[in-house]
Amino acid sequence: MCAMWVFGVDRQQLGVTTVEEVAAPRAGDGEAVLRVDRVGVTANNVTYAVLGDAMRYWQFFPPAAFGLPPRWGLVPLWGFAEVVESGVPHVHPGSRVYGYLPPAGHLVVRPGRIDETGFRDTSEHRAELPSPYNAYRLTTGDAAYRADREDLLVLFRPLFFTSFMLADQVLDHDAYGAERVVLSSASSKTAFAAAFELRGRGPRVAGLTSPGNVAFTEALGCYDEVLSYDEVGALPAVPTAYLDLSGAAATREALRAHLGERLVRDIAVGLTTQSPNALAAGEVFFAPARMRKRSADWGREGLDARFAEAWERFAAAAAGWVDVRTGHGPEALRAAWLEVAAGRTPPRIGHVIRA
């Protein structure tokens, strides 16, 4: 039996990692084996690790299933994989899928709800986890897929889906009556993708970022204005909705002190630092919950069509905003993880790892 690798991070110290060689899996009855091919490493993955216990992200890929002790967590990654072995009708070896993947060479799934768009992993340990993360979409049944944009899909698609759903919620509520929407961590992919969707569709859109990232963020053209965090006081005192993607308590406090009752909405959207911000915000945005609502409103095909249309607009612009840095194998994954987790990755760089 061939061997594969698996990459784990210490659940209590995310900068402590391990790479182990383990036996490659075989497909049992009702199972399929996916060979992990191409994944991205972004701040979004750090969020999964930071919230691994609170939001059950560690449960998607139990370490014991990959030969690791409980100390280690397998950080979920988004990317492409190939079906290499299947004991399931209608799931064919050679098929290429996009979805939630482990930092490992292979993944065993139990495909269910199979149709022309793909399947869901119905493994028992994933039954109570958020269903959008269990979907594996065939490239042949994906309206948003283009072979020449795989790197963009790896780096941006999960982030853009959050951005798309976030902008949809803000617009669906008429921006909560705000005249200006302010996003923190404005140089991050999730933030500027949301700004891309929001700009020109209602209130003005402002971005807050670190001084060193102001020029990059302005050059994107996604915001009506970009300010550094120490310029919060320059924001007009008008009704404002705050979308917090940084988790920085000082930024929230400065906005509240400056705007007072004119801060009409305060929404936490994940983390890009390792400080939970949910309790301090007025509410928390969770993309899968919004997806469930829009699936009920529009139907699955309607949601897919709207997403594909929005993705096409965004991808055409985003191709000029990112420099893809490609690595190969587990050591490249380790290096990318340590850089991103430490916050050392410039906003223009996107890490893609070929397994």
Residues 6+ apart with CB under 8 A from 82: 34, 35, 37, 94, 95, 96, 97
- Shared domain for 31 and 130, answered yes or no, is yes
| Concatenated DSSP letters of 144-203 | T--GGGHHHHHHHHHHHHHHHHHHHHHHHTGGGG-SEEEESSTTSHHHHHHHHHHTTSSS
- Once rounded to an integer, what is the mean pLDDT over residues 1-26? 91
Of 118-122, 240-244, 273-277, 290-294, which range is least confident?
273-277
CA distances from 197 to 60, 249, 309, 321 (A): 30, 26, 12, 16
Tens digits of per-residue pLDDT, 239-253? 999 999 988 889 999
- Shared domain for 138 and 225, answered yes or no, is no
The average confidence (pLDDT) of the chain is: 93
Residue 1 has pLDDT above 50, yes or no: no
Residues 6+ apart with CB under 8 A from 346: none
| Phi/psi of residue 77, nearest 5 degrees | -125, 155
Give me the percent of the chain exceeding a pLDDT of 90: 85
Residue 69 has pLDDT above 70, yes or no: yes
Number of C-alpha atoms within 13 angstroms, CB side, residue 203? 25
- Give the end of a domain, one of 246, 272, 288: 288
Burial (Cβ within 10 Å: 0-12, 13-18, ≥19) of residue 126: buried
Domain containing 277 equals 159-288
Residue 338 forms part of a structural domain:
yes
- Shared domain for 124 and 212, answered yes or no, is no
- Once rounded to an integer, what is the mean pLDDT over residues 304-327? 94
Residue 90 forms part of a structural domain:
yes
- Shared domain for 130 and 181, answered yes or no, is no
- Give the end of a domain, one of 288, 311, 335: 288
- Once rounded to an integer, what is the mean pLDDT over residues 162-177? 97
Q: What is the pLDDT of residue 274?
A: 42
- In the chain, how many domains are there? 2
- Shared domain for 22 and 128, answered yes or no, is yes
Residue 60 forms part of a structural domain:
yes
What residues form DSSP beta bridges with 10? 72
- Give the end of a domain, one of 272, 288, 304: 288
> What's the CATH number where 52 sits?
3.90.180.10
Question: Between these two residues, 283 and 109, which has the higher pLDDT value?
Answer: 109
- Shared domain for 169 and 136, answered yes or no, is no
- Once rounded to an integer, what is the mean pLDDT over residues 220-227? 97
Contact indicator for 77, 45 with CB cutoff of 8 Å: yes
Residue 277 has pLDDT above 70, yes or no: no
Residue 295 forms part of a structural domain:
no
2 pLDDT band, cuts 50/70/90, is: low
Residues 6+ apart with CB under 8 A from 350: 40, 42, 151, 155, 322, 323, 324, 325
Tens digits of per-residue pLDDT, 103-144? 999 999 999 999 999 999 999 999 999 888 999 999 999 999
Residue 153 forms part of a structural domain:
no
3-state SS class at 336: helix
- Shared domain for 62 and 126, answered yes or no, is yes
Contact indicator for 333, 16 with CB cutoff of 8 Å: no
- Shared domain for 21 and 116, answered yes or no, is yes
- Shared domain for 244 and 163, answered yes or no, is yes
- Shared domain for 236 and 208, answered yes or no, is yes
Residue pointed to by tokens 């944009």: 149
Q: What is the pLDDT of residue 275?
A: 46
Residue 149 forms part of a structural domain:
no
Contact indicator for 294, 287 with CB cutoff of 8 Å: no
> What's the CATH number where 164 sits?
3.40.50.720
Residue 305 forms part of a structural domain:
no
Residue 148 forms part of a structural domain:
no
Residues 6+ apart with CB under 8 A from 136: 34, 81, 97, 98, 99, 109, 111, 118, 119, 120, 121
Contact indicator for 3, 24 with CB cutoff of 8 Å: yes
